[in-house]
Amino acid sequence: MKLRMTILGLGKEIGRSAVLIEGNNNTFLLDYGVALGEKDEPELPLSIAPSKLTALIITHAHLDHVGAAPLLYISGKVPAIMTPLTRDISEIMIEDMLKISGYYLPFEHLELKNMLENTKPLGYYKELEMGSARIQLICSGHIPGSAMVKIIMGERSILYTGDVNTIDTRLVSSADLSNLEADTLIIEGTYGDVDHPERSSIEKKFIDTIIEILENGGTILIPAFSLGRSQEVLALLAEKLPYITVYYDGMVRRITEIMLSYKDYLNKPNLLEKAVKLFEPVRGWDMRKKIWREPCVIVAPAGMLKGGPSLYYIKRLWSNRNNAIILVSFQAPGTPGRMLIEEGTFMEKGPRITARLEWFDFSSHAGFSGLLKIVKCVRNLEKVIIVHSEEPSAKYLANRIREELGVDTYIPENGQVVEI
């Protein structure tokens, strides 16, 4: 029996994840996300008739994996399968996107509500039967609640990694590679050609920088994505620098509360709890206008300075050499964050910032060695499909997989159909 895989998004690109698997009278859609790049307008994946789908399976609550999902609920009632934590966080992530970009989106709150009503929460390692297929979610180590998806259809088995990380962080344990078996592996390749520097040395430099700036009376802005990176940074600060003043702004508070109601999905929930006890959320504009004037650390979205409170703070902090802007995530081309790294300014033709600028690699994606390790852990593997990757890094990873394991490896384009 052959299965058909159609790439509806994610082919040689990062963002708008969407992979369709058909065969044995079942059709599964793995993720349905939006791309939020240079433009304000979220880019949707290729379209699919919801009536064709047996189920939608969502790996995690980042918008590049779940952001387009409500589009399938305009008239449809497709079962949506995801961990309960992913369901709860997806709700507020999509609500926020509707608030900011609703004008550009072909769905509204009603469709989000329909999606949530059709969601079947599935915990890790529990097996769900759907049609003639069996589905399992496995911890992927990327953010709390994130999952790899295993689907068994007849005698065929597929493993889709979603976004995956192979190191333990404070927030989540690494992906569980202990019992993987599949004939086809669909793997993300975001960092397919590079290894991250060792996390402990990054953390040491990060902590040392913060101590130095605070001792000189400066204020530190850490632009960070509200889901994942902010909580990791707060947990790290709670562990290493519990005595300093830290504020967190934006949706971080709501998302952290949800995470803490699912402690089983966290690696060190006590550190996140400690962060919530020690550090203060920013409650409204009166507070926002005051806090940056004193030496402190402010963790605020958006992580790439595209808007949100981080943009407000940087406009007040950039011109003082005692202050620091510390970036902790990937900065996409065309974003103010990338401009800051490349040109030292966050505005088109703006002045060079005089505050100290640092960029630390706190990635929650596996690097090349981690990805290769995943491939090696999958028993009975016949085919590897690389998605969620720019072409050069996908090619490097594909070549190394072929060299080391002799397995067929493909880098499909959007719209391409691959027989698996």
Q: Point out which residues bind Zn ion (CB under 5 A).
A: 62, 64, 163
Q: Which is nearer to Zn ion, 64 or 111 (CB)?
A: 64
Q: Which is nearer to Zn ion, 111 or 163 (CB)?
A: 163
Long-range contacts from 372-376, C-beta under 8 angstroms, 24+ separation: 372/397, 372/400, 372/401, 372/404, 373/166, 373/177, 374/161, 374/164, 374/166, 374/175, 374/177, 374/180, 374/185, 374/187, 375/185, 375/187, 375/401, 375/405, 375/407, 376/404, 376/405
Sheet hosting strand 119-121, strand order edge to edge: 119-121, 80-82, 55-57, 26-30, 18-23, 4-9, 417-419
Q: Please state the closest distance from residue 231 (CB atom) to Zn ion, in A.
A: 14
Q: Which is nearer to Zn ion, 64 or 91 (CB)?
A: 64
Q: Which is nearer to Zn ion, 88 or 163 (CB)?
A: 163
- 324-327 and 356-359 strand pairing: parallel
| CA terminus-to-terminus distance, the chain | 9
Compute the distance between CA of residue 160 and CA of residue 148 in angstroms, rounded to an integer.
6
Q: Please state the closest distance from residue 42 (CB atom) to Zn ion, in A.
A: 14
Compute the distance between CA of residue 374 and CA of residue 400 in angstroms, rounded to an integer.
13
Q: Please state the closest distance from residue 187 (CB atom) to Zn ion, in A.
A: 12
Q: Please state the closest distance from residue 24 (CB atom) to Zn ion, in A.
A: 28
Angle at 236 between CA 140 and CA 143, to 5 degrees: 20
Q: Which is nearer to Zn ion, 153 or 164 (CB)?
A: 164
Q: Which is nearer to Zn ion, 13 or 64 (CB)?
A: 64
Q: Which is nearer to Zn ion, 112 or 172 (CB)?
A: 172
Q: Please state the closest distance from residue 329 (CB atom) to Zn ion, in A.
A: 11
- Cβ 241 vs Cβ 203: under 8 Å: no
Q: Which is nearer to Zn ion, 163 or 249 (CB)?
A: 163
Q: Please state the closest distance from residue 228 (CB atom) to Zn ion, in A.
A: 7
* b/e map 375-409, b = 16+ CB within 10 Å: bebbeebebbbbbbbeeebbbbbbebbeeeeeeeb
Compute the distance between CA of residue 3 and CA of residue 1 in angstroms, rounded to an integer.
7
